[in-house]
Chain A
Amino acid sequence: MATGTEPPPTHSGVHGATRATIGARHLRTDRWWLSPALTAGGLLAFVLYSTWRAFANADYYAAPYVSPFYSPCLSENCAPMRGGPNWEIIGGWWGLSPALLILIFPLGFRLTCYYYRKAYYRGFWASPPACAVAEPHKKYTGETRFPLILQNLHRYFFYAALLVAGILTYDTVLTFRDEQYAWGHMGLGTVVFLVNIVLIWAYTLSCHSCRHIVGGRLKHFSRHPVRYRLWGWVSKLNARHMQLAWASLISVGLADFYVYLVASGAFDDPRFF
């Protein structure tokens, strides 16, 4: 829902002097507010959950599963994960939750994502709340100035997201072990991780920046048949970018929650073999 509460300025926009004199900010009769309300609610729920989990600094490792929120672990204050992503790059001075170090990247990726931008501009910033519904802001400069001009850095975050997705893939491979680190086993968690990693990759590769890099930037597809084919695939995925954004958001939360349940002892990971 719209968070802006100012009354619409009367001198500008649809109430400007030259426009048709209609008092209402909009004349929509459908439930136009439902979609931004759901979006805002969904995003807010995830933000609350992930903030709690990121700051908790506990219950993120239950062999062989590492929470995607804490992978890779870049400081020394991490739980030791045998064969896992303990990469103490920044040394021992970091005292806070190690999740904070790594979550910057997926957060940045999603924050600058073309779909999420639409979602939160509409849902939180009401700019606009829905099509043909007047927004409450007096001024608007879009993404022409600091800080929103930084949305153009999506490309960097995409490259980082590729690395993170690679690491999470590695983590998923590690889930084919049992609690004693013996290979060739599988539990319910493995399935959760598999689903999650597929969705993470699908979301990452369906990114508009990715679509551009693999082929969109070309002027002549016919001279680059391989890249054209790749572009075609990415375009197909890209058409579902919104769905993948939500699905992967939910799956990554669920994967973390699964690890939390197992690590905290609330639930025993059923082993298949």
Chain B
Amino acid sequence: MSSYQAGFRVWRGDQDGGELEDFTVEVNEGEVVLDIIHRLQATQASDLAVRWNCKAGKCGSCSAEINGRPRLMCMTRMSVFTREETITVTPLRAFPVVRDLVTDVSFNYAKARDVPSFVPPPGVAAGDYRMRQVDVDRSQEFRKCIECFLCQDTCHVVRDHEENKPAFAGPRFLMRVAELDMHPLDAAAESGLDRKKTAQEEHGLGYCNITKCCTEVCPEGIKITDNALIPLKERAADRKYDPLVWLGNKIRRRGE
């Protein structure tokens, strides 16, 4: 039970430029990186810009990169570092910077709007929805998402290639497509909307090369790649590339 002085390097600046600034700051037992950033604000840099809300890993606001890894500042305990280590904190590097640790995440909100919403089943009144737990389990996993956008930040498709942003929704919103496609009562298909097709043709599913960084950084432990993206790729393959499905369709069409 003791406090010590830690070395911190925090990126400070805005669109016009900036740099890593060095600080020496007190650290107490049980603290997380966000506590230290707050201490810097209160004692050394009152205008240090940072987003945060719940400080309990539930809202996904305090996303940043700590020693080069995308993480939530409120869920990164200081005890995972050695006392000698200098801890580097930068804003998310896939999005335009606003100021200090705050980035412009509007890309994500624009992508959210591109995904057609849940289509309620026609003729089923509110209160009459019946769904089995086993049928909602898969989509529920994806709805654990706190929209911290760490997966969007780490995904090299857009992180390293700005020009891909228009064509690629990112893991978070491909997962949203998967969530709706697996929703037991979603009536998109009946309304003429093929979510599998849009995943491939409009949301850029093909850009994903399943290198799993989204899963690696997810603070909620959602298996984004294995449970959402790959199943979605398989569903897309069903339509176009599966030999049996192709054969089946062929025979069925002939039978008609």
Total contacting residues, chain B, CB less than 8 A:
62
Complex contact A128–B160 (CB within 8 A): yes
Total A-B residue contacts, Cβ distance less than 8 Å: 164
Complex contact B184–A219 (CB within 8 A): yes
Alpha-carbon gap, A159 to B245, bound state (A): 13
Q: Is the interface of B mostly helix, strand, loop or mixed?
A: mixed
Complex contact A140–B68 (CB within 8 A): no
Q: Kindly identify which residue among B97, B210, B238, B240 contacts A19, using a CB–CB cutoff of 8 Å.
A: B97
Asked whether A18 and B241 contact (CB < 8 A) given A27-B88, A29-B68, A219-B182, the answer is: no
Complex contact A153–B90 (CB within 8 A): no
Total contacting residues, chain A, CB less than 8 A:
54
- When C-beta atoms are compared, the residue in chain B nearest to A11 turns out to be B162
Q: How far is the CB of A170 from chain B (nearest CB, A)?
A: 24
Complex contact B208–A27 (CB within 8 A): no
Contact with B along A135-148 (1 / 0, CB 8 A): 10101111110001
Complex contact B95–A19 (CB within 8 A): yes
The verdict on B221 contacting chain A, using a C-beta distance below 8 Å, is no
Alpha-carbon gap, A99 to B207, bound state (A): 34
Q: Kindly identify which residue among A114, A144, A149 contacts B210, using a CB–CB cutoff of 8 Å.
A: A114
A residues sitting closer than 8 Å to B (CB atoms) are 12-14, 16, 18-22, 26-30, 114, 117-118, 121-122, 127-128, 131-135, 137, 139-144, 148-149, 152-156, 159, 208-209, 211-212, 216-217, 219-222, 228, 238-239
Q: A114-B230, A132-B93 are in contact. List 17 more A-B contacts (CB 8 A).
A: A12-B163, A13-B161, A20-B18, A20-B97, A118-B212, A131-B213, A131-B217, A132-B65, A137-B160, A139-B161, A148-B209, A155-B241, A208-B234, A209-B234, A217-B234, A219-B135, A221-B134
B residues sitting closer than 8 Å to A (CB atoms) are 11, 13, 15, 17-20, 65, 67-70, 85, 88, 90-91, 93-97, 103-104, 132, 134-135, 153-154, 156-157, 159-164, 182, 184, 204, 206-213, 216-217, 226, 230-231, 233-238, 240-243
